[in-house]
Amino acid sequence: MNRTPNRKPDTGGGSSVRGWRVTAAGIFSILCLVATYGAADSRAAEPQASAAALPGYDHVVVVVFENKQYGEIIGSANAPYINQLATAGASLTGMKALTHPSQPNYFNLFSGTTQGVTSDGCYTPQSMSAPNLGQELIAAGKTFATYNEDLPSEGSTACTNGQYAQKHNPWFAFKNVPLNTGKTWAQFPKSDFTQLPNLSFVVPNQCNDMHSCSVGTGDSWLKNSLGAYADWAKAHNSLLVLTWDEDNYLGSNQIATVFSGAKVKQGKYGGAYNHYNLLRTLEDLFGTAHAGNAATATPISEVFGDGTPPGGALSVANPGAQTCRFNQSCTIQITATGGTAPLTLAASGLPFGLSIDATTGRITGKPWQVGTLQVTATATDSAGASDSTTFPLTVNWF
C-alpha cells in the first residue's frame, strides 16, 4: 500500500518566502544573462588593434625602392647616405615584405590587401573601389599625392614609359582616388617643401629604385633628390620613410625600412613588422580609417618620441679653469654625453701648439702662446645636434 509521507503543512508565510526566492532567482538569472551578453557585445566592439598615440606631422614622404635584401642596404658601403639616415634615425631590423613579385606588395602597402593581384601585369585603371590610403586621407580632409619618376604626365594611366612602370603605382587602379593625385617627378617641390601634401609617395624609376641599377645608383639618387627634404623635415615637423617592395628572392623577404625626421627616436627596432604595419602607421599618423588587413595590424609606434636620443640630450661638460706651461706638454680632456652617436668634438680659441682629437675629445700638445685665453669646446652628434661650453685656459712661462 502506498503511503504518503508526513509533511508539515505550508503556512502563508512559507509560501511568500518561497515565492520571493523563486522571483529573486529569476531576476538574478536575467541579470547574469544581461551581463554576459553585454560583456560579449563589449568585447566584440573592441578593435583588434587599437590606435597608438602617434605624433602628428605636417608632411610625410614615403619612398619605395625595389628588390633588395636587408643586408644589401643596411651596413653596406654601397649605400652610405641611406645608412647615414638609418644611423641618425630609426631602422627596422625585423621588417619583411609579404609576398612576391613586386606589384602585390604595392597593393598591400596601399590598400591592406593584394586586391587579387598576383603578377606584375598591367591592371585596368580606375577599376577598383576598395578602401585605400589615398581615399582615406582625402575623406579625413587631408591632402594626398604621389610623385612618379618618368610618368608621362599628371594622371597618366600608361602601362610603361621608358623606365616608368605602372606595376609600382597601385593608386591608378582605384576609382576613389582622383587621377590628378598621380603626379610627375617634375612636380615634386624642389625647395619649398611646405607645398607638399600631408602624405605623399615618391616612386623612382626602375633604375633609381634599384630594380635595374645598382644600390649605389639609388643611394645617390636619394641624396641628390631628397637630401634637402630629409634635412628640412627634422626642423619642420615632417617625416621621411624609406622602404622596399621585396627582397631579391634569395632571402627571407627581409627588407630595410628607415624613419628619418622630426619626433623620431634614434635606434634599431627588431619588431616583426610588414607592409600592413607600415600602412597602419601611416593611417594612424593622420587619424584615418583602416584599409584591409591594416585594421588588425599593430602600428610601428616605438620609433616615435620627442626626438631626444636614447642617451639623453647632447651635453658638453665644462672642465673648469685650466693651466698649462709654455712649450711644455699639456693635456685637457673634453667630455660630452648624450646625443646620437658618433660624436664629433672641436675646440676654438686654443693657443698655437694645442689641438683636439675630434673622436676622443682630448686636447694635447705644447702651447706657444702666453696669457689667458677663452676656449670654446663643441660637440656635434650625427643627427646634427650640438652643444658647447667655454672655459679659461692660462698659459704661464713657468
* Per-residue pLDDT at 52: 54
35 located within any domain: no
Q: Do 229 and 321 belong to one domain? A: no
Domain containing residue 374? 315-396
* Per-residue pLDDT at 247: 97
* Per-residue pLDDT at 27: 38
* Per-residue pLDDT at 385: 81
Q: Do 169 and 125 belong to one domain? A: yes
* Per-residue pLDDT at 47: 38
Q: Do 158 and 282 belong to one domain? A: yes
pLDDT per position as a tens digit, 20-55 = 343 444 433 433 333 333 333 322 233 344 445 799
Between residues 283 and 50, which one has the greater pLDDT?
283
Query: Which amino acid would we find at residue 298?
Result: T
Q: What's the Rg (C-alpha) of the chain?
A: 32
What integer is the mean pLDDT of 70-85? 97
Q: Do 320 and 287 belong to one domain? A: no
* Per-residue pLDDT at 38: 36
Q: Do 345 and 239 belong to one domain? A: no
The Cα–Cα gap between 114 and 104 comes to: 5
Task: Return the CATH number at 79.
Answer: 3.40.720.10
Q: Do 330 and 228 belong to one domain? A: no
pLDDT per position as a tens digit, 122-131 = 999 999 999 9
- pLDDT of residue 18 exceeding 90, the answer is no
Q: Do 199 and 258 belong to one domain? A: yes
* Per-residue pLDDT at 309: 66
Answer with the one of 260, 277, 303 that is the final residue of a domain: 303
Q: Do 179 and 79 belong to one domain? A: yes
pLDDT per position as a tens digit, 130-175 = 999 999 999 999 999 999 999 999 999 999 999 999 999 999 999 9
Answer with the one of 249, 278, 303 that is the final residue of a domain: 303
pLDDT per position as a tens digit, 198-243 = 999 999 999 999 999 999 999 999 999 999 999 999 999 999 999 9
Give the global pTM. 0.71
Task: Return the CATH number at 387.
Answer: 2.60.40.10
12 located within any domain: no
374 located within any domain: yes
Q: Percent of the chain scored above 70 by pLDDT?
A: 85
Facing residues of 330 across strands? 365
153 located within any domain: yes
Q: Do 249 and 343 belong to one domain? A: no
4 located within any domain: no
**Three-state secondary structure of the chain:** CCCCCCCCCCCHHHHHHHHHHHHHHHHHHHHHHHHHHHHHHHHHHCCCCCCCCCCCCCEEEEEEECCCCHHHHCCCCCCHHHHHHHHHCEEECCEECCCCCHHHHHHHHHHCCCCCCCCCCCCCCCCECCCCHHHHHHHCCCCEEEEECCCCCCCCCCCEECCEEHHHCHHHHECCCCHHHEEEHHHCCCCCHHHCCCEEEEECCCCCCCCCCCHHHHHHHHHHHHHHHHHHHHCCCEEEEEEECCCCCCCCCECCEEEEECCECCEEECCCEEHHHHHHHHHHHCCCCCCHHHHHCCCCHHHECCCCCCCCCCEECCCCCEEEECCCCEEEECCEECCCCCCEEEEECCCCCEEECCCCCEEEECCCCCEEEEEEEEEECCCCCEEEEEEEEEEECC
Which candidate, 122, 193, 125, 192, places its Cα nearest to that of 157?
A: 125
Q: Do 183 and 225 belong to one domain? A: yes
Domain count, the chain: 2
Which candidate, 318, 339, 336, places its Cα nearest to that of 389?
A: 318
Cell of 298: 599593430
332 located within any domain: yes
- Mean residue pLDDT across the chain: 88
156 located within any domain: yes
- pLDDT of residue 76 exceeding 60, the answer is yes
* Per-residue pLDDT at 308: 66
* Per-residue pLDDT at 339: 83
Q: Do 339 and 298 belong to one domain? A: no
- pLDDT of residue 193 exceeding 60, the answer is yes
Answer with the one of 279, 303, 327 that is the final residue of a domain: 303
The Cα–Cα gap between 296 and 274 comes to: 12
261 located within any domain: yes
The Cα–Cα gap between 112 and 106 comes to: 9
Cell of 110: 596601399
- pLDDT of residue 274 exceeding 70, the answer is yes
162 phi-psi bin (left φ>0, alpha ψ -120 to 50, beta other): left
Q: Categorize the per-residue pLDDT at 312 as very low, low, confident or very high, splitting at 50, 70 and 90.
A: confident
Q: Do 242 and 361 belong to one domain? A: no
Which candidate, 49, 61, 54, places its Cα nearest to that of 261?
A: 61
